[in-house]
Structure 1
Amino acid sequence: MFTRILNIVAILIFVQKFSIAVILVSRSNSALLWSSPPIPCLAFEGKTSFGMSVFNLGNAIMGSGILGLAYAMANTGILLFLFLLTAVALLSCYSIHLMLKTSGIRAYEELGYRAFGTPGKMAAGIAITLQNIGAMSSYLYIVKSELPLVIQAFLKADPNSDVWYLNGNYLVVMVSASVILPLALMKQLGYLGYTSGFSLSCMVFFLTAVTYKKFQIPCPFEEFSVNGTDAHLSLNVSDQINGYSNSLVHEENGSHCTPRMFTINSQTAYTIPILAFAFVCHPEVLPIYTELRNPTKKKMQKVSNVSIFVMYSMYFLAALFGYLTFYENVEPELLHTYSRIDPYDTLILCVRVAVLTAVTLTVPIVLFPVRRAIQHMIFPSKSFNWLRHISIALILLMFINMLVIFAPNILGIFGIIG
């Protein structure tokens, strides 16, 4: 499930990701870019510290994409993966550098207005709105599909039970109302620095667990034995458990337990979209820049560089230790591979909760640029108003929850948003 979501979102975003910077460069010498008068800017800026800005941008970068990186390394080899990861990270840094250097402004809608007038402002706002709604929908779809399975595994509940706490639709609404909505109602993006820091700590816990498991799990590993006693328990914790033979032990010659530096196969091409999705943060850059204390282009570039470097390091370590645990047997969603060994492993279940927590806490960060875009498009000259601020957040979350609940699958969501 995670892999399908990652690939769909990545394909939608990959081509678009660096286009903003390219447009800025191509239009920077045009008289039209600076001939239009500036539109009023919705501003409550200058209050977020450097550290909180790093946390917010790092949280925007970090997502469920980290779960697919070990699989990407298995299909590229360690050195080729490192080269590709480095290249994408550098491209992300450079594209942010172009935006900051060339635009001279701190809102995509203002950039669109100066470049193409009112149609440009509307196009920029609509693009940000649709892209981020798609991202938020994918995050909440992960919550809807994975949280019931985690609860089911913790409680060892009957998978056919119809109790409410195993219903993904109820759970996603509860998470949205109790966690996401209160955070989305914050007046400033900078206030989310604390939750962003906690979200990143959840991913550090994930990295620590992956590193620990590398030295605990032997290679080749023995798969979970499904006997008569266990048959009634939840085998849906990992969709991949079904179909594997009982007590299967992989080939004992250990040939597949040797790391490869370079690998080219039919799955190698999917590595680029996975890596591109892993560093997507561009819609959040300018809003974070707007609220940065004593904002300068140099300071915001430093925020971006630090955030990307920290995420780059975490990505590589998570991919490396995940790959060195399972080698070519690693699955597209790393945590499912651990479930093949023991679907009721308490540590891995806690890691899955941590990942779901991190994904959930990313949603408010992604929602802020959407609300900002809507305000620029519909209320460009209005000052801050709490009623409007709350109403936009409520409407957005209600719409996204309806998409997640009524769409038959993730393809249905992107069929509407795309």
Structure 2
Amino acid sequence: MAAFCFGRKMVLVTGWSNVSTLLGFVVSYIVFLKTLIPHILIVLFGEENIPGILSNGRYTGQLFWATIYTFLILTPLSMPRKIGALRFNSMFGVCCSFYLVMCIVFMFFFDRTLVPDIGEAFKKARYFNVTLDGMVDAIPFVVFAFMYQPNIPIIYRELTTKTYGKMNKIVTIGSSFVVVLYILAASFGYLGLVGNDDMLATLAEKNNILEVLYPSAAFKVAIIGLVFAIFAAAPVCVLPAKDAFEEIVFANGKMTMKWNVITT
């Protein structure tokens, strides 16, 4: 694409930009996962019942889970060269994410121990709380959530009907679906905590709704499902990174099976 639009000289710039961006995403997933899994274990079993190597220490549990995920899960799932090979993994990940959002919404409307009065929650909520810290936290997250442009070429290449209209339709529908899920999770996740000062304080401190200890088995299941969603998401970033690396390094544009394994 870079060669077509700007000439061969821009291939290196665009290629390395894509590689660094996509690998940055992968690192973000690994960092998030290595903190999420110990948190889940602590919630389910209690910190005193978890061996130190599996717990939340920076050089124990986090390093352990990052290593296990990277070499035993992420690497094998990233071996395919076609993104279509991950379609079932990706669909399962989407379902897990959807379940998490629906769990948050349903807890707000139907869990009276969490939200005794729905109307009162809407009244007490602070709808406009714009701060510099909030913007610094939110803007990188929003940018990260929608930086899927490097994935578009590899998806386009595997379309049965390769047209701009088809690709535009896929991007529009996918982006709209994600925006709705983000808004639902953020809105009802916050509204569900308005009446609970301790849980709201945890949310303000951690800036992560997943670290709030909801007294709900369904939410705990949803967090576990999110782990599998990340399992499916990270390989989707590795595949286009390999494509960009292939275009930069290999003159004929084709990577052998041996180099595919080494690059992965």
Equivalent residues in 2 for 1:182-193, closer than 5 Å:
182-193=76-87
Identify the residue that residue 186 of structure 2 maps to in structure 1. Answer: 319
Identify the residue that residue 139 of structure 1 maps to in structure 2. Answer: 29
Greater per-residue helix proportion: 2
Does structure 1 retain, via aligned residues, the 8 Å contact 2:97–2:226? Answer: yes
1:373 aligns with 2:244: yes
1:269 aligns with 2:140: no
Q: Secondary structure at the match of 1:292?
A: coil
Identify the residue that residue 125 of structure 1 maps to in structure 2. Answer: 15
Does structure 2 retain, via aligned residues, the 8 Å contact 1:219–1:325? Answer: no
Identify the residue that residue 353 of structure 1 maps to in structure 2. Answer: 224
Equivalent residues in 2 for 1:11-410, closer than 5 Å:
107-108=1-2, 110-111=3-4, 114-118=5-9, 120-158=10-48, 161-163=51-53, 167-215=61-109, 216=111, 217-218=114-115, 257-270=123-136, 271-327=138-194, 329=200, 330-331=203-204, 332-337=207-212, 339=213, 342=215, 345-393=216-264
Q: Secondary structure at the match of 1:326?
A: coil
Does structure 2 retain, via aligned residues, the 8 Å contact 1:211–1:318? Answer: yes
Structure 1 CA distance for aligned equivalents of residues 183 and 122 of structure 2: 21
Structure 2 CA distance for aligned equivalents of residues 294 and 134 of structure 1: 31
Give the number of the structure whose alpha-carbon radius of gyration is greater: 1
Gap runs ≥5 in structure 1: 1-106, 221-253, 394-418
Inter-CA distance 275–157: structure 2 relative to 1 (3 Å threshold): closer
Structure 2 CA distance for aligned equivalents of residues 201 and 255 of structure 1: 28
Does structure 2 retain, via aligned residues, the 8 Å contact 1:219–1:326? Answer: no
Structure 2 CA distance for aligned equivalents of residues 290 and 178 of structure 1: 29
Inter-CA distance 186–162: structure 2 relative to 1 (3 Å threshold): same
Gap runs ≥5 in structure 2: none
Q: How does the TM-score come out when normalised to structure 1?
A: 0.53
CA RMSD of aligned residues (A): 2.6
Inter-CA distance 376–131: structure 2 relative to 1 (3 Å threshold): same
| Residue-by-residue CA offset, 1:344-379 (whole Å, 9 max, x unaligned) | x43332222222221221110000111111111111
Question: Letter of the aligned partner of 1:375 in structure 2?
Answer: E
Inter-CA distance 284–276: structure 2 relative to 1 (3 Å threshold): same
Moved more, 161-170 or 254-263: 254-263
Does structure 2 retain, via aligned residues, the 8 Å contact 1:219–1:257? Answer: no
Structure 2 CA distance for aligned equivalents of residues 170 and 308 of structure 1: 34
| Residue-by-residue CA offset, 1:163-210 (whole Å, 9 max, x unaligned) | 457722222222233322222111311121111111010111101210
Inter-CA distance 187–130: structure 2 relative to 1 (3 Å threshold): closer
Cα displacement (A) at 1:300:
0.6
Structure 1 CA distance for aligned equivalents of residues 186 and 75 of structure 2: 33
Does structure 2 retain, via aligned residues, the 8 Å contact 1:335–1:348? Answer: no
Inter-CA distance 160–175: structure 2 relative to 1 (3 Å threshold): closer
Identify the residue that residue 251 of structure 1 maps to in structure 2. Answer: none
Q: Secondary structure at the match of 1:187?
A: coil
Aligned length: 246
Q: Secondary structure at the match of 1:158?
A: helix
Structure 1 CA distance for aligned equivalents of residues 239 and 121 of structure 2: 50
Structure 1 CA distance for aligned equivalents of residues 54 and 210 of structure 2: 25
Does structure 1 retain, via aligned residues, the 8 Å contact 2:39–2:211? Answer: no
Cα displacement (A) at 1:160:
7.8
Cα displacement (A) at 1:159:
7.0
Inter-CA distance 359–257: structure 2 relative to 1 (3 Å threshold): farther
Does structure 1 retain, via aligned residues, the 8 Å contact 2:80–2:239? Answer: no
Inter-CA distance 289–353: structure 2 relative to 1 (3 Å threshold): same
Identify the residue that residue 101 of structure 1 maps to in structure 2. Answer: none
Cα displacement (A) at 1:150:
1.4
Inter-CA distance 169–256: structure 2 relative to 1 (3 Å threshold): same
